[in-house]
Structure 1
Amino acid sequence: MGRPGPRLAELVLSDHERQVLGAWVRGQSTPQALALRARIVLACAEVEPDGLPRSVSSVAVVTGVTTETVSKWRSRFLRDRLDGLGDAPRPGRVRTVTDEQVAELVRTTLETKPKNATHWSTRSMAERVGLSQSTVSRVWRAFGLQPHRAESFKLSTDPFFVDKVHDVVGLYLDPPERALVLCVDEKSQIQALDRSQPVLPMMPGVPERASHDYLRAGTTTLFAALDATTGKVIGSLHRRHRTAEFKKFLAKLDREVPAGLDVHLICDNYATHKTETVKKWLLAHPRFHLHFTPTGSSWLNLVERWFAELTDKKLRRGVHRSVQALERDIRAWVADWNTNPRPYVWTKTADQILESLAGYIRRIKDSGH
């Protein structure tokens, strides 16, 4: 029988310490390493049936770690209590960039521009503030600064902007019963373009390549109505873009939409939609109701999102030697879309949209708001 080891120092927890350690063990966001150390300390605070402190070896078995690990964190807790369970600072390179230098770099990025450019680069900023290019890059990433990027926006000047937003968004979020909500617009001047030289197909390591110049073969206009609920599209192609063509498209909608349904059309403010001819047609077809998006707010019309998909997936890289070929491709794409339509789900309320736009206005100097 070997000689007994040294008697363990008693580890007694206060109510506060026990509560904190328990919270660390149960917390879903607690780092796993800290949760394990908390379990070790809680196990060490238990006593054996004979009233002696729990042995290091038994705690190691319960927690699944080595006896060395148990001894380490037991000693750290006895010395520093809860503070002893954190990771000690590791040796590393001495920091050379001060908080003042970081603040000056951020201020310069946000409030100034270089003399010979519209925006800062990491190289020009490093020269300006006297830091390395990699340091500038790290600070910009940390603060989410991207001087090389710029996004566009446009605020509507429509005096009835608020009312129109509530009207259109209300149709998306709470459509009327026994009615169809159609997002209507025209994609005009779609060009049939033929490349001046044959397109080189994609190869391993080489993308598809096409000549930058092209031959124009004519244009067509696509009138489209997107069902806001199902995502199906009713389309019509015309060589011209006048009231006569829009009236023909309305007649097509009248034929294809079941007679028992009202039809709510979401349109933009293009003059073709407001002519006397169209107004007379609407009076003769009272189940049709036009709802206009605010001026300069095409983003409110869901059919614009569908036009973007058509452009990206079919038109931008398409090669068409004639308008007829272009129109065949568009009709085929619309028919394929309608075999498996995917509706665009509108989620923001009108109040959320107006609050977001108010934030833009507050950031514009001399906006009058």
Structure 2
Amino acid sequence: MARKSGRGKLALSVEERERLRQLSGSRTAPKREVERAQMLLRYADGADIAGIAREIKVTRATVYKCIDKALAAGVETGLKDKYHRPKEPYITPEAAGWVVNLACTKPKDHALAAELWTLSALAQFVRSGAVAAGHSCLQRAAKATVWRILNAHDIKPHRIRYYLEKRDAEFEQKMHEVLVVYREIAMAHDAENKMPDRRPQYTVSVDEKPGVQALTNTARDLPPIAGEQSCVARDHEYVRKGTVSMIAGIDLHNGHIIAQVHDRHRSREFIGFLKELDAYYPQGSVIRLILDHHSAHISKETMAYLAEHPGRFSYVHTPKHGSWLNLIESVFSKMARTFLRHIRVASKDELKNRIMKGIAEMNAAPVIYRWRNFDFAA
């Protein structure tokens, strides 16, 4: 078929033709390069410009541009985009500072519903308010433009990084006191449990685990069946029967757990727990409790009970937001990963019984928790 373009013939070497043939059928190469490879192959085979444009479904101008580049500088040049340097938009420092200032606020501060900015929402807000704020250079700012401005100042308003506010002015001192207790117990273990020549003292790590849910199934669980069902099948629906609160303490000397489960968590429940500790340990000894500042631990009722038993109990308080210092948390974690995991019960009473049974199983094989990191220089 004769060419009507007036352009010269495109001669392809064997290697170039094979390269174009592979590229024209590629599923991974950019679409524009695949189309250009098809244009060059058809032109080299004698097809006319209009026919190539119809077959590939592009404009004739696109075909002309590709062929002209290949005739002028070779096949590889014809496949690639022509180099050009895009004009960088000019953003004044004042305009960039305005964008950064907006990013450091929240959308709700500007009568919007969102809590945090997304780049798209921020870019739209910048465009809508740029002229009124005197920064007309931003009236067509794209999301990429806003991103470049924020990236230059290392601002990421769409992300959250959580932190822990230090609300206890005596955090370091209280942490030190707790760690001293752990080191003392560890040294006693290393000395074959020989206590110093003084009044016997037992250390118990105590805390509460409120809100343990009593959930019951609406349909029975289906057990695994070899060759048919590999795991337990459970209906998505469940019914809440209420919650219970657990008070537990672990003896740091022998790993024994003492626990109670109640419907509520008040001073009277905590006093009942103290009475159980008083009955469990020998009279004349000191029961040292590692515990937090919960109101039930220091309430008027609790203080009155402690006053009736002078010298029997001793408190070592963990700092606020320092629950990780209390070793009973490891016990609660073990419960959550063992007998409380996926638990289903018919009533709150059954949940209480299951919890106490699980604690009895843990006491059958007690674990003595030891704190090994005593870096007091920090």
Measured on the aligned residues, the alpha-carbon RMSD in Å equals 2.6
Name the CA distance, whole Å, in 2 between partners of 1:219 and 1:264: 30
Does structure 2 conserve the Cα–Cα contact (< 8 Å) formed by 1:195 and 1:213? yes
Does structure 2 conserve the Cα–Cα contact (< 8 Å) formed by 1:220 and 1:323? yes
Aligned pair in 2 of structure 1 residues 254, 199: CA closer, same or farther (>3 Å)? same
Name the CA distance, whole Å, in 2 between partners of 1:289 and 1:314: 32
Equivalence for 1:78: none
State how 1:1-369 maps to structure 2 within 5 Å.
154=164, 156-175=166-185, 177=196, 178-203=200-225, 206-285=230-309, 286-351=311-376, 355=378
Name the CA distance, whole Å, in 2 between partners of 1:245 and 1:231: 23
**Offset at residue 151 of structure 1 (A):** 9.7
* Corresponding letter in the other structure for 2:242: G
Name the CA distance, whole Å, in 2 between partners of 1:154 and 1:238: 31
Does structure 1 conserve the Cα–Cα contact (< 8 Å) formed by 2:216 and 2:344? yes
Does structure 1 conserve the Cα–Cα contact (< 8 Å) formed by 2:267 and 2:302? yes
Name the CA distance, whole Å, in 2 between partners of 1:156 and 1:207: 45
Does structure 1 conserve the Cα–Cα contact (< 8 Å) formed by 2:287 and 2:314? yes
Equivalence for 2:100: none
* Corresponding letter in the other structure for 2:346: R
List per-residue Cα deviations over 1:157-196 (Å, max 9, x = no partner): 2101011101111111114742111001111121111122
Aligned pair in 2 of structure 1 residues 163, 315: CA closer, same or farther (>3 Å)? same
Equivalence for 1:27: none
* Corresponding letter in the other structure for 2:262: H
* Corresponding letter in the other structure for 2:314: H
List per-residue Cα deviations over 1:99-134 (Å, max 9, x = no partner): xxxxxxxxxxxxxxx957xxxxxxxxxxx9xxxxxx
Equivalence for 2:188: none
List per-residue Cα deviations over 1:44-98 (Å, max 9, x = no partner): xxxxxxxxxxxxxxxxxxxxxxxxxxxxxxxxxxxxxxxxxxxxxxxxxxxxxxx
Name the CA distance, whole Å, in 2 between partners of 1:300 and 1:338: 22
* Corresponding letter in the other structure for 1:325: E
**Offset at residue 155 of structure 1 (A):** 5.2
Does structure 1 conserve the Cα–Cα contact (< 8 Å) formed by 2:284 and 2:312? no
List per-residue Cα deviations over 1:251-279 (Å, max 9, x = no partner): 11101111132111011111111111111
Secondary structure in 1 aligned to 2:276? helix
**Offset at residue 338 of structure 1 (A):** 1.0
Does structure 2 conserve the Cα–Cα contact (< 8 Å) formed by 1:156 and 1:294? no
Secondary structure in 1 aligned to 2:245? strand
Give the % identical residues.
30
**Offset at residue 153 of structure 1 (A):** 6.3
Name the CA distance, whole Å, in 1 between partners of 2:359 and 2:342: 17
TM-score when normalising by structure 1 = 0.52
Name the CA distance, whole Å, in 2 between partners of 1:252 and 1:339: 19
List per-residue Cα deviations over 1:190-229 (Å, max 9, x = no partner): 1111122222334567333323331111222211111112
List per-residue Cα deviations over 1:319-341 (Å, max 9, x = no partner): 10111111111111111111110
Does structure 1 conserve the Cα–Cα contact (< 8 Å) formed by 2:213 and 2:243? yes
Name the CA distance, whole Å, in 2 between partners of 1:294 and 1:206: 47
Does structure 2 conserve the Cα–Cα contact (< 8 Å) formed by 1:156 and 1:297? no
Name the CA distance, whole Å, in 1 between partners of 2:257 and 2:164: 28
Aligned pair in 2 of structure 1 residues 349, 153: CA closer, same or farther (>3 Å)? farther
Please list every run of 5 or more consecutive structure 2 residues that lacks an aligned counterpart in the other structure. 1-117, 121-143, 145-159, 186-194
Please list every run of 5 or more consecutive structure 1 residues that lacks an aligned counterpart in the other structure. 1-113, 117-127, 129-149, 356-369
**Offset at residue 350 of structure 1 (A):** 4.8
List per-residue Cα deviations over 1:7-48 (Å, max 9, x = no partner): xxxxxxxxxxxxxxxxxxxxxxxxxxxxxxxxxxxxxxxxxx
Name the CA distance, whole Å, in 2 between partners of 1:211 and 1:172: 45
Aligned pair in 2 of structure 1 residues 262, 238: CA closer, same or farther (>3 Å)? same
TM-score when normalising by structure 2 = 0.51
